[in-house]
């Protein structure tokens, strides 16, 4: 995910506002986003989509080879942003103190998250394997840049995966996300930048480059890089697209393929005679991969197919469609701050846009009033489930889980809805 601004700005780098309602415009006018641009999920729920491909963590735990574990963890880091593909709806901005939990016994994890800060907007999360076989935690806050026709979001925050079985900890940050044509034209999304997944026990790392699309779009969605040992020797190559799949292949084969590709590109560039009937290069196939598979490659991850009706439901994956489920008996267990209980999100999910809009105004006004009242007193906002501290693996400031959430004592939680 992965996976970035809240309130008058936008909530998630992949779900920036459309048309003239740019984040910069909204922040300057103190206006609120029209609900018609939203999707019926909170940003905290969008963060939970990191866990869609949790099987990669289980695969990492199942292998005794550290390089094989790195392959799985690197694939998990890439898969975390895969749900952003074609997702141009804006999630609802989390209110201060808002929470979300998800227990998936079939996938082997439980997750909880909290909006720990409003200005600047920060969302913290903590997930554990049901067999206590992994910890996955971090915090996300954005740095936004408005470029006129596009909005770029550089996700700040540390993402950490711990595998107790091997006493290993991996850390990384997400790539930069850019949404194009926010004023006119068809919206499209790209991810770019360098992502380095580090195994702090072995010193191995996976250095990945999310490529910008380039002048003619040939590099769109491409990801490639290498796994290196602690002495920076290349152990193998990884390549693919964050929207589709990832492969691994030995370094020599990959480098030879890259060299051949570069030579062919130069020859085509020098040849000015082009057939008018020639089809565009790397023309996407409607029902097939657009990744050219190098002979000898091993598939390490493929995106889960979306349901047939995905386009009718905000380009949601099956995983995303289940995030707002409120099953019988959950109301008596969930804290009153859980996203599922937000009246504006529930109204939008039912298709009542007018009610969703009015409810959204109510909860936002309630939040502003609470902030105003705190400013008049000595009362300070206190986070419930996270606290600031030093990430033990990189010695940088992070939001760390304070424990206690799953004890189900929610009597002192604020009334935010």
At residue 268, the pLDDT reads: 63
The secondary structure of residue 38, as a DSSP letter, is E
Minimum mean pLDDT range among 54-63, 222-231, 279-288, 291-300: 279-288
DSSP 297-333: -EEEEEPPPPPTTGGGTTT--HHHHTTT---TT-TTT
- pLDDT tens readout for residues 140-173: 987 778 877 888 888 888 999 999 999 999 999 9
Task: Please say whether the beta carbons of 386 and 401 come within 8 A.
Answer: yes
The residue ranges of every structural domain in the chain are: 3-18+35-266+291-374+388-393
Phi, psi of 337 (to 5 degrees): -95, 0
Distance from C-alpha of 302 to C-alpha of 53, rounded to nearest angstrom: 9
Alpha helices (runs of H) in 196-301, residue ranges in sequence order: 251-270
Say if residue 110's pLDDT is above 80.
Answer: yes
Distance from C-alpha of 350 to C-alpha of 342, rounded to nearest angstrom: 13
Minimum mean pLDDT range among 221-235, 257-271, 312-326: 257-271
The pTM (predicted TM-score) of the whole model is 0.86
Mean pLDDT of 336-340: 96
Distance from C-alpha of 206 to C-alpha of 237, rounded to nearest angstrom: 9
* Omega cis (within 30) before 120: yes
The b/e string for 112-149 (b: 16+ C-beta within 10 A; e otherwise) is: bbbbbbbeebbbbbbbbbeeebbbbbbbbbbebeeeee
Mean pLDDT of 302-331: 91
Q: Please, what's the largest Cα pairwise distance for the chain?
A: 75
> Of 29, 3, 2, 5, which is closest to residue 17 (Cα–Cα)?
5
Task: Please say whether the beta carbons of 3 and 46 come within 8 A.
Answer: yes
For 60, the 3-state DSSP assignment is helix
Minimum mean pLDDT range among 70-84, 261-275, 340-354, 366-380: 261-275
3-18+35-266+291-374+388-393 architecture in CATH? Beta Barrel (2.40)
């Amino acid at each position: 995910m992965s996976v970035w601004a809240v309130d008058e700005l936008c909530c998630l780098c992949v779900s920036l506002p459309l048309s003239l309602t740019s984040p910069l415009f909204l922040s300057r006018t103190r206006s609120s986003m029209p609900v018609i641009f939203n999707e019926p999920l909170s940003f905290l729920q969008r963060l939970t989509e990191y866990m869609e491909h949790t099987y990669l963590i289980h695969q990492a735990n199942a292998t005794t080879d550290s390089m094989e574990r790195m392959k799985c963890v690197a694939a998990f880091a890439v898969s975390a942003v895969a749900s952003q593909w074609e997702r141009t709806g804006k999630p609802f901005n989390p209110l201060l103190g808002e929470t979300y939990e998800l227990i998936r016994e079939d996938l082997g994890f439980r997750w909880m998250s909290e909006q720990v800060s409003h200005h600047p907007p920060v969302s913290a999360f903590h997930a554990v394997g049901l067999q206590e076989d992994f910890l996955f935690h971090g915090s996300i806050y954005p740095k936004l840049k408005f470029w006129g026709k596009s909005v770029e979001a550089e996700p700040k925050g540390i993402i950490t995966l711990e595998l107790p079985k091997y006493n290993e900890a991996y850390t990384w940050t997400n790539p930069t996300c850019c949404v194009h044509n926010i004023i006119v034209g068809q919206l499209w999304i790209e991810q770019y930048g360098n992502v380095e997944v580090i195994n702090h026990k072995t010193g191995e790392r996976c250095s990945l480059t999310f490529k910008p699309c380039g002048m003619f779009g040939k590099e769109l969605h491409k990801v490639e890089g290498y796994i290196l040992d602690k002495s920076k020797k290349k152990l193998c190559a990884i390549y693919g697209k964050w929207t589709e799949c990832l492969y691994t292949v030995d370094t020599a084969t990959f480098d030879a393929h890259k060299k051949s590709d570069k030579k062919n590109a130069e020859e085509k560039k020098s040849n000015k005679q082009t057939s008018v009937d020639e089809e565009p290069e790397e023309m996407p196939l409607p029902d097939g991969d657009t990744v050219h598979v190098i002979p000898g490659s091993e598939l390490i991850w493929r995106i889960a197919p979306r349901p047939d009706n995905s386009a009718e439901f905000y380009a949601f994956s099956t995983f995303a469609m289940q995030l707002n489920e409120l099953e019988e008996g959950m109301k008596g267990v969930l804290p009153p701050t859980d996203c599922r209980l937000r009246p504006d999100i529930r109204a939008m999910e039912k298709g009542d846009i007018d009610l969703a809009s009015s409810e959204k105004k109510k909860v936002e006004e309630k939040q502003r009033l609470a902030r105003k009242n705190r400013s008049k007193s000595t009362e300070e906002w206190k986070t419930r489930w996270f606290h600031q501290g030093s990430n033990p693996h990189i010695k940088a400031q992070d939001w760390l889980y304070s424990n206690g959430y799953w004890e189900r004592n929610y009597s002192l939680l604020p009334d935010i809805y």
